[in-house]
Amino acid sequence: QVQLVESGGGLVQAGGSLRLSCAASGRTFSSYSMSWFRQAPGKEREFVAAIRRGGGNTDYVDFVKGRFTISRDDAKNTVSLQMNSLKPEDTGVYYCAAESSGWGSRSPIPYDYWGQGTQVTVSS
């Protein structure tokens, strides 16, 4: 099985940048598509970005396109989310998720594993 641990969250001013990292342990990490979701207080968990196994294809929710970049390093068993030009609306708990059979769904339902989350707070 895969265990996921997020890091890199924190407090940043609007317009700033953060880089989130998700470290995976377990077998066959490279066979999973990986995604980032986020959840703000009082809101549903929402899709942010996904990267397919193999790293050749990425998907982003419209709100973060051009600002966020997802990447993976299978040799190090990590997936990252570079977040630039952050906005207060980006505030929330960011979760790393792994999907074994799909290509990085925008729905949280198909995912097999989840990290505990890391808090991102963007101040105005």
Instruction: Name the band, by pLDDT with cuts 50, 70 and 90, for residue 24.
Output: very high
The percentage of residues in the chain with a pLDDT greater than 90, rounded to a whole number, is 85
Query: Per residue, what are the HEC states of 32-96?
Result: CEEEEEEECCCCCCEEEEEECCCCCCEEECHHHCCCEEEEEECCCCEEEEEECCCCHHHCEEEEE
Contacts of 39 (CB under 8 A, 6+ apart): 45, 46, 92, 93, 95, 117
With a cut of 90, say whether residue 122 has pLDDT above it: yes
Q: Summarize pLDDT for 66-121 with one digit per residue, the tens.
A: 999 999 998 999 999 999 999 999 999 999 999 998 889 999 999 999 999 999 99
Q: How confident is the model at residue 38 (pLDDT cuts 50, 70, 90)?
A: very high
- More confident call, 56 vs 111: 111
Instruction: State residue 54's pLDDT score.
Output: 82
In one letter, which amino acid is 65? K
